[in-house]
A and B are shown apart, each in its own frame.
Chain A
């Protein structure tokens, strides 16, 4: 007897909750990177190794939340918003799935582990991705309490406590006020 095949369509899903979490996280992260470049000498040094001008983006593939950060011709680092469309991007890093991004930004999978598991796409010069990854790691160390930062980054740098605390205050202040 011939088999009866039942057919059903399943369409794309709008993940409002996950996007509502990831969008402000990436917004905050993007502004914090710009603030860290102004506050911390190590972050500044990493940006100095990048070409001038230089724009990089971190987002969720294919068209999820994102952050765009640019180093201008004057060397100043600025957050350029959350839209990658129409922006000339030198280095585009995309997390392959929204769920994976959620795992990363809820600190259940570190950036290094996600890289190792091939969960990120890098388009652009890979040599530039390395300093950018270090910048993101240092920014996370500034933003997060040590116990959470340990889950997010591979290795916590050995900074003097005053550097961490004063730097954290300055970065939070600049991130919130956007300068």
Chain B
């Protein structure tokens, strides 16, 4: 393993996972100095049932809660302002989210707004405040998470806020609350988790601390993800996939964003698909490119991805190509399991060849050689790959 001269690793997220994990929440909240959290949730029947359970668990421990329910399809700055006003008016002292995805991003920004004493998100500064300066934020996923919940970034109305302190303090996974989701959403979570974890293990800042976190995430996703996508998931599978997603978010936060992540984020608006879906298409090509460029760390992904037995049985020089082959195999399996909603290629994702130009230099990913991007994107568009001959980039 590469040992850098300086290592920084932070995991501000405390995970409460498993049977009756929710019952630990009142104590954790009170340890963080909170006794009346504002619960942000979407207004639907399933969410109401979960709120009833949460209100009971907190109420039994003598805590109150404020329940803010709404149906924000695409939350905007006005939602942040409204919720921040409710938080202040009702004397809340923490933020909890019953849900995942955009709702968590909204809660992160509400928390930042109320902690900073700001009135508008334009006044927000994500970098300057220490961990102690923010109110506690807890996330209780009710479905398959997107994988971005435990990261220190939040997207709202086309603008991305990123700061080391935006990550939630509590990540609560309780089988009574964590529900099912459709196969394509589960596949998005799987690919986001695998991409974040793999790129954290391969990136220039990879170190023992972050790699162990990323390897655990990769292992959990590989062990419990496919069952969820192919419709044979048990509540335990969902729980551990969500755990993997949370860990991958922490690993992602401690490493620079990798190529597959950045290309997917750049292409997602054009494809009108979640970025996670495109990460799955791009990751095997990015790894193949790294393999051909002589990056021998790709082989290290085989053990968490396929298990120690496969890793041991595969000759050293074949491990990297085995990783890429396995990811491609999963891509095809998920394509079939989701009836084509999870694409195998960028062409399946509805992107025209001309649209690929949005992601090449000059666009959001600008520091690597242009030719390299074009090769990766062209291969991902047509689904080409599997060429075993080594190719060296200048």
Contact = CB atoms under 8 A, between A and B. Distances in A.
A118 B24 contact: yes
Interface stretch (A94-102, A123-131, A133-141): A94-102
Given A99-B23, A117-B18, A119-B24, A10 B76 contact: no
A6 B66 contact: no
B79 A3 contact: yes
A117 B16 CA distance: 10
B60 A6 contact: no
Interface in A1-41: 2-13, 15, 18
A117 B174 CA distance: 14
A5 B26 contact: no
Contact of A13 (B56, B68, B79, B90): B56
Interface string B96-126: 0000000000000000000000000000000
B93 to A, nearest CB: 14
A61 B61 contact: yes
B378 interface: no
Contact of B43 (A6, A9, A62, A63): A6
A50 interface: no
A121 interface: yes
A117 B17 CA distance: 10
B27 interface: yes
Contacts of A118: 24
Contact of B66 (A7, A62, A96): A7
Contacts of A9: 64-67, 90
Contact of B68 (A7, A96, A97, A99): A7
B156 to A, nearest CB: 13
B82 A96 contact: no
Contacts of A3: 70-72, 75, 78-79, 82
A10 B55 contact: yes
B127 interface: no
B70 A4 contact: yes
B60 A15 contact: yes
Interface in B343-365: none
Contacts of A99: 20, 23, 57, 60
A61 B25 CA distance: 12
Interface in B42-101: 43, 55-72, 75-76, 78-79, 82-83, 86, 90
A7 B86 contact: yes
A62 B26 CA distance: 9
A10 B66 CA distance: 6
A62 B59 contact: no
A12 to B, nearest CB: 5
Contacts of A2: 76, 78-79, 82
B34 to A, nearest CB: 13
A131 to B, nearest CB: 25
B61 A98 contact: yes
Among A4, A5, A8, A9, the most chain B Cβ lie within 10 Å of the Cβ of A5
B30 interface: yes
A97 B27 contact: yes
Contacts of B24: 96-97, 118-119
Contacts of A96: 23-24, 26-27
Nearest to B71: A3
Contacts of B79: 2-3, 5
A11 B62 CA distance: 8
A12 B60 CA distance: 6
Given A5-B70, A6-B43, A13-B56, A62 B30 contact: yes
B27 A121 contact: yes
Contacts of B20: 99-100, 103
B58 to A, nearest CB: 8
Contact of A97 (B26, B70, B82): B26
Nearest to B26: A97
A90 to B, nearest CB: 22
Contacts of A7: 66-68, 86, 90
B68 to A, nearest CB: 5
A94 to B, nearest CB: 9
Contacts of B64: 9-12
Contacts of A63: 62
A13 B19 CA distance: 22
A5 B86 contact: yes
A61 B18 CA distance: 20
A8 B60 contact: no
Given A6-B70, A12-B63, 14 more contacts: A3-B79, A5-B70, A6-B69, A8-B66, A9-B65, A10-B55, A10-B65, A11-B64, A12-B59, A13-B55, A13-B56, A97-B24, A97-B60, A117-B19
Interface of B: 18-20, 23-24, 26-27, 30, 43, 55-72, 75-76, 78-79, 82-83, 86, 90
12 contacts: A5-B83, A7-B67, A8-B69, A9-B64, A9-B67, A10-B67, A11-B64, A12-B64, A98-B60, A103-B20, A118-B24, A119-B24
Interface of A: 2-13, 15, 18, 61-63, 96-100, 103, 117-119, 121
CB-based closest 7 A-B pairs: A13-B59, A97-B23, A10-B55, A3-B72, A5-B70, A3-B70, A2-B78
